[in-house]
Each structure stands twice: as C-alpha cells, then as structure tokens.
Amino acid sequence: QVQLVESGGGLVQAGGSLRLSCAASASTFSSYSMGWFRQAPGQEREFVAAVNWNGGSTDYADSVKGRFTISRDNAKNTAYLQMNSLKREDTAVYYCAADVRHGSIWSAHRESWRYDYWGQGTQVTVSS
C-alpha cells in the first residue's frame, strides 16, 4: 500500500510559478514511475508529466512542455512538479500517481489506468 500526499498548490497570477510536491509513504519509492495529472472543472483528467524510477526519463504533455519540470528525490520519497509561466488554462486540481505494479518498466505512462495509487489532489488556480 502506498499513500501519496500532494502539497504546494494555491493561487498564483498568470506568469507566476508554483512547485508541487508529492510525498510517498513507501520505502520502495525508488522502484517505480511517478506521474502528474490534472482535472479542470467539467473536463476529464489529463496527463501532465511523468518520470521513471531513477529520474532518467521524463515525458510531458505538449501543453506544458518547456514550462513544467518533473523531478524526484528518491532519498526523500518525493516527486515534484515545478510549474513556471503559468497560464489561466493551467487551473485545475493536480494529482500525483504511482505506477507501483509495473516497477521500472517505462511504458504507457500517459495513461491513467497505468497507475495504482493516487493522491488526494491539490488545487492550482491561475488568475489573470
């Protein structure tokens, strides 16, 4: 069982930055991929970014590429999402997710079904 707790959300002006954190409870954190997804009101949950078990591979949705950076610190059991140049359309609830059952296999990480565990979400609101 893995518990994920997000933090770092809030209200920010367009063009500003936020850093989201996702703390995992399991000591096996370094053995699986992590992803960030978001869901805006009335919309489906969408992929934002993913990082493999050791941070060596990352992937981003086109809408955030060049503005967001995903990373992880396995010593701290924490994944991060650095969000720069925020836009109003980035407003959403952001969720982190853990792909525990596939371990180090880096595949289909843009698909929500890939992930076993999810955090409770943190709200990010970008104002103009």
CA distances for 106 relative to 42, 56, 76, angstroms: 30, 10, 21
pLDDT given at position 26: 79
pLDDT means per 10 residues in the chain (128 residues)? 96 98 92 97 97 97 98 97 98 97 90 96 97
> Distance between CA 27 and CA 19 in Å, rounded?
23
pLDDT given at position 27: 78
